[in-house]
Structure 1
Amino acid sequence: MSNIHFFLQGKGGVGKTLASSFTAQYLKEKSNDVICIDTDSVNHTFSQYKALNVMEYNIYNPETSFIDETVIEEMAEFIYKSNNEHIVIDNGASSFVPLLQYLVDNEIIPLLREAGHNVYIHTIITGGQGIEDTAGGLRTIINSFNDVNIIVWLNYKFGEIHIDDKDFKDWGCVHNKQRTYQCNYPS
């Protein structure tokens, strides 16, 4: 079935779309069977990469601050039924919380895995003033999913990635044999 790559982070401007595009480009070099989806209802940057032929799902209405469950159900069903080798989904900061809540409340990740899909959640940690927010986004992702592959991208553009003089590698993010994740953040 499909390898599904969700790019999620609650902080804007940290490089989610850039990482999504790098991943999609890499996968397209390896396979002609890549679908790209842009769920950022505020900034459709991923959709602007014309060579990636990105599909748009406007899952969130920023004016009402509500997720459009009809659209997200349509997207989830498309992904569930997909036989594409890879699916790359770029999500915006404005819809991070509603999408994450929808995925959790409706047990979308377990459903996708039961259908034979491999699910990966990519998130970005950035240095500088955004480190606390991006670390909080990672913490939310880890606490929301018990059995998911999490890939952390480190973005040093804004500074070193350390809290209380501890580098990311020293935060204690680990996974055990059951593939559950835990992260002991510095205080």
Structure 2
Amino acid sequence: MPFIPTPIPDLLVFEPTVWADERGYFFEAFNAHTFKAAGIDVQFVQDNQARSTFGVLRGLHYQLAPYAQGKLVRVLEGEVLDVVVDIRPESPAYGQSYSIRLSAANKKQLYVPRGFAHGYLVLSPTAEFFYKCDNYYAKAHEGGIHYNDPQLNIDWEIDLSQVILSEKDQVLPNFGEHRGTH
């Protein structure tokens, strides 16, 4: 099975089987039957792609119900540190974070179910980040948590003076001060 559990319930790393030869490689980045067999019955409705340079940090973002989003995230070029925080109040992992390096080279993907704040930091000179969403973007329902919240104590793996943030991300609240998830 290409799914690897993480310490946080329902958060899964997806490692596709890659067939490589002298011509290059091929893999299935998503197959609904494979996901359903693993208990993930999801219908993605929106694909997003972003290109960023080293040090750009996007997040930690989420959306509130009825526009909460599950995501399947991956990197098409370069490398990022992908980070999620469980913000499901009923979860035994509430307030815990998980990080993983996703890259074009390792082809790993992270399935992020609804109820998580999500962000990523570009570690390579540039990165192309791609993600599938199971719900549509709705600005009125977006929320976020400050990336450098001392309570979360996330190790972003670079000197934080190198982080480049949007104006919106600079003023996000800390964990516990954020808007509810459901």
TM-score, normalised on structure 2?
0.30
Between structures 1 and 2, the one with greater helix share: 1
Higher relative contact order, structure no. (Cα contacts within 8 Å, ≥ 6 residues apart): 2
TM-score, normalised on structure 1?
0.29
